[in-house]
Amino acid sequence: MQLLKLMIKRGVIPDRVTYSTLIDGFFLVGRINDTKKLFISMTKTGCRHDVFSYSIMINGYCKNRKIEQAMRLYREMISERVMPNATTYNSLLCGLFQAGKIEQAKKMFGEMLFNNVVPNEGSYNILIDGLCKNGSVAEAMQVLYTLKKDKFDLSIEAYNCFLHGLCKMGRLEIACKLFHKLSQDGLLPNVITYNIIINGLCKEGWLDAAIDLLSNMEEKGCAPNIITYNVLMLGFLHNDEKTKVVDLLHKMAERNIMIDASVDSIVIDLLANDEHYRERLTWLPSFPIREPT
């Protein structure tokens, strides 16, 4: 703020880019009141609010879970005859779904279409993900099927959102069927796709199927990551199959996969519950062994 005042004092008039950069930065560090002051001060220096500046403010409010402020600014934007674009609507959709305002989110998507703003891939990803996370899996499925019928090229990210929602709602069998049909739509599952299905299988106790899928992803050239192994190890740990947890730790070490705190916690759980595994764990140079507390 001091720098902005100094600029104005010296006769250097900030433009929209300067204001937008400052507003974005203040939102990032949580200085929400300062963003509002900056936004208001724009017009005093001759900078008219445009779709870009409104969208940055709306996105910042939504990311900081200030959805009411975002909606007020959206209504102001419309009244000032500044037309929102796909970026504006995507921020609002995301904010409304995060706030659990599913009906308002669906209404907002309708307004987007009514105002002749063409939804992009991000819009549909947000819509599908938001519907699934709020328990409206059937509606998300309808959106997906409508898009497929209209020959809209959905990315694997959109399917990942839907698969995650299905697994979260306990619709694992449907998720698995959709997963196996991805190739028919010309899509290759990525590591996130595999992790979603493996996690769903582990939560249902279908551990053999989860291990088969691990082998399948490696055969298809998709390298498992730390999340893949964490999900599998937790699944085996919860089913008291500790030997398989150790086998997975060995496999991680062989592949030089960097461990994180969650793996460290799994190792501690093994040691805390059964001293028998200490010797086998000491064979793993990548994994420091700590005494359980």
- pLDDT value of position 64: 92
Rounded CA separation 252/285 (Å) = 11
Compare 289 and 192 and report the one with higher pLDDT: 192
* Residue 293 pLDDT > 60: no
Tell me, yes or no, whether 42 lies in a domain.
yes
Helices (H), 204-238: 207-219, 226-238
Q: Residue 19: CB partners within 8 Å, gap ≥ 6?
A: 38, 39, 41, 42, 47, 53
Do the domain assignments include residue 126? no
Type of residue found at 244: K
- The whole-angstrom separation of Cα 171 and Cα 192 is 18
Least confident of 36-40, 157-161, 166-170, 287-291: 287-291
- End-of-domain residue from the set 75, 103, 133: 75
Q: Is residue 35 part of a domain?
A: yes
Give a yes or no: residue 94 inside a domain.
Answer: no
195/192 Cα distance (integer angstroms): 5
Q: How confident is the model at residue 82 (pLDDT cuts 50, 70, 90)?
A: very high
Is-contact 131 139, C-beta < 8 A?
yes
Query: What pLDDT, on the 0 to 100 scale, is given for residue 15?
Result: 66
Residue 127 covered by a domain = no
Question: Is 17 part of a structural domain of the chain?
Answer: yes
Do the domain assignments include residue 274? yes
Give 7-10's long-range contacts (Cβ < 8 A, gap of 24+). Answer: 8/45
**pLDDT of 54:** 94
* pLDDT for residue 288 is more than 50: no
> Which of these three, 75, 91, 119, is where a domain ends?
75
| Environment class of 63 (CB within 10 Å of its CB; exposed 0-12, middle 13-18, buried 19+) | middle
Q: Which domain holds residue 63?
A: 1-75
Mean per-residue pLDDT for 257-279?
70
Q: What is the pLDDT of residues 220-262, one digit of tens each?
A: 999 999 999 999 999 998 888 888 888 888 888 888 887 777 7
Percentage of residues in the chain having pLDDT higher than 70: 86
- What pLDDT score was predicted for residue 8? 52
Q: How many domains does the structure of the chain reveal?
A: 2
Q: Rounded mean pLDDT of 83-97? A: 97
Candidate from 50-64, 241-255, 268-282 with smallest mean pLDDT: 268-282
Q: Which of 27, 57, 75 is the last residue of a domain?
A: 75
Instruction: Please report the pLDDT score of residue 158 as a whole number.
Output: 86
